Amino acid sequence: MLYYGFALDCQASDCNRPLPRPQMRISSTIVLYYPDPASVVLLLKTLSKGLINEFFVIDNTPQPLLDVTSALEYLGRTIKLKYIQNNANLGLSKAQNIGINEALMSNSDYLFFSDQDSTFSSYYMLTLLKCIREIESYGHSSFILGGAYRNSNSPSGKISLPSSNIRFNHHIRFAPMVTSSGSIITASTFRKIGLMDENLFIDTIDYEFSRRASANNIPLFLCDGIAFEHRLGKATLRIPCTNIEIGIDSSTRENYKFKALKYLCRKKHISLSWKIKTLLRLAIVRPIVIVYELHMYLKKLF
Give the pLDDT confidence of 93-128 residue by residue, as tens digits: 999 999 999 999 999 999 999 999 899 998 999 999
Bigger pLDDT: 83 vs 248: 83
Question: Does the pLDDT value for residue 4 go beyond 70?
Answer: no
Could you count the other beta carbons within 10 Å of the beta carbon of residue 208?
A: 22
Rounded Cα–Cα distance for residues 4 and 283 (Å): 43
CB neighbours of 255 closer than 8 A, spacing ≥ 6?
Answer: none
DSSP category for residue 225 = E
Nearest to 72 by CA among 45, 96, 92, 101: 45
Sign, CA dihedral 265-116-74-59, equals: positive
Half-sphere exposure of 20 (CA within 13 A, CB side): 8
| Rounded percentage of the chain residues whose pLDDT exceeds 90 | 65
Environment class of residue 131 by beta-carbon count within 10 Å: exposed (0-12), middle (13-18) or buried (19+)? buried
pLDDT score of 50? 67
| Angstrom distance (rounded) from CA 228 to CA 209 | 21
Apex 130 CA angle, 129 and 133, nearest 5: 90
CA distances from 294 to 245, 251, 252, 259 (A): 20, 11, 14, 23
Q: Which helix (DSSP H) or strand (DSSP E) does residue 81 occupy? A: strand 80-85
Give the model confidence (pLDDT) of 31-77 as tens digits.
999 999 999 999 999 999 867 999 999 999 999 899 999 999 999 99
